Amino acid sequence: MSGTMNSNSISKLSEKVKENYNNFTKTERRVADYLLENVNSIVFLSIHEIARRLNVGSGSIMRLATKLGYDGFASLKKDLTALIQEDLTPLDKFKLMLDDPNASPNTIEQIARNEVANINSLVNNFNEEKFNNIVNILSKAENIYTMGLGLSSHLANLTSYMMRRIGIKAFALNKLGITFSDQLMPAGKKDVLIAYSFPKYSPETIDAAKYFYENKAKVIGVTNKLTAPVIQYSTEYMLVKSDSKYIAGSLGAVSVLIYAIVNDLALRDKQRAKSAIEDIIKKRPK
């Protein structure tokens, strides 16, 4: 299962179960124990699937939900879904939407509003000091490596592409049959790694950030929350919302951040940027 329920979410459910445990029948206790042990996967299962797995009647599950203070299993499932939304991947969320019989089509306006909301969050919570620290670190780097898996690999490729266009030595790490850590072995202490890490947080990305950080090189973590695992191995970090209930994570706010960083780096060394751009223009087909 991709997505892990956070400890706060687990405690809310377990507290409800604990308060009512003595009022449960033996069968209901089995169901309650199953809920706590499989809390992340429950939101993807129907009441009939849970009943089949436990070899109990659907009525037992309904009665348990009622004893926990819900109108029924659908209400319990809705509450659980809301609790774990932050830790679900966009693909998990999209599957939940497809499972919802009342889901409406996603219009252009709805999708655009989702992107705008994430961009507004970046603007409203913008930390200028942290941003300047990141640009300072990157401006002094001999080489810049970028990495990420899944959709984040595209962010890594976009970043290195944009930086190369202004004359910066930037390299995107890709899945080439060797690990990110192995690809980083030639890197030195004056190099910088930009690690994009969003749910589901790839262990390989975290391992590479840890390897780079522990070798006294600087790591810039770009992720969605302070508790994200890449934070502990980041010299500096930026928090960016990638919230999405669509088939993939939102790229709007992260793209804005990338453009802003590249823009500031170009202004830090205008001559290098102009020289690189002129070379690109000269090589254009006539």
- For 7-88, CATH gives 1.10.10.10
pLDDT of residue 111: 85
> pLDDT per residue over 16-34, tens digit each?
888 888 889 999 999 988 8
pLDDT at 100 over 80: no
Strand pairing partners for 195? Answer: 147, 221
The whole-angstrom separation of Cα 177 and Cα 173 is 11
pLDDT at 58 over 60: yes
pLDDT of residue 55: 92
Q: In the structure, what pLDDT confidence band is assigned to residue 82 with cuts at 50, 70 and 90?
A: low
pLDDT at 105 over 80: no
Q: What is the pTM of this model?
A: 0.68
pLDDT of residue 283: 86
Q: Which residue has the higher pLDDT, 191 or 42?
A: 191
pLDDT of residue 87: 59
Determine the average pLDDT of the residues in 179-193: 89
DSSP 145-170: EEE-STHHHHHHHHHHHHHHTTT--E
Which range, of 92-96, 150-154, 182-186, averages the lowest pLDDT?
92-96
Residues of the chain with pLDDT > 90: what percent?
Answer: 52
pLDDT at 265 over 50: yes
Task: Please state the domain extents for the chain.
Answer: 7-88, 110-282
What CATH class is the domain 110-282?
alpha beta
pLDDT of residue 227: 84
Q: Kindly report the CA angle at 85 between 82 and 90, in degrees rounded to 5? A: 140
At which residue do the structure tokens 């942290």 appear? 130
pLDDT of residue 96: 67
Q: Which residue has the higher pLDDT, 3 or 61?
A: 61
Determine the average pLDDT of the residues in 115-134: 94
pLDDT of residue 4: 40
Q: Do domains 7-88 and 110-282 have the same CATH topology?
A: no
| Distant-in-sequence, close-in-space partners of 102: CB < 8 Å, separation ≥ 6 | none
Output the CA torsion 85→99→250→42 (10° steps). Answer: 30
Q: Of 92, 108, 126, whose CA–CA distance to 249 is shortest?
A: 92
Q: In the structure, what pLDDT confidence band is assigned to residue 245 with cuts at 50, 70 and 90?
A: confident
pLDDT at 130 over 90: yes
Enumerate long-range contacts of 7-12, CB under 8 Å, 24 or more apart.
9/39, 9/80, 9/83, 9/84, 10/36, 10/39, 12/83
Q: Kindly report the CA angle at 253 between 148 and 240, in degrees rounded to 5? A: 65
Q: Kindly report the CA angle at 173 between 172 and 178, in degrees rounded to 5? A: 160
Output the CA torsion 125→129→135→137 (10° steps). Answer: -130
Q: Which residue has the higher pLDDT, 60 or 245?
A: 60
The whole-angstrom separation of Cα 55 and Cα 35 is 14
Q: If 0-12 CB within 10 Å is exposed, 13-18 middle and 19+ buried, where does residue 109 land?
A: exposed
Determine the average pLDDT of the residues in 61-66: 91
At which residue do the structure tokens 């970043």 appear? 159
Contact predicate 65/73, CB 8 Å: yes
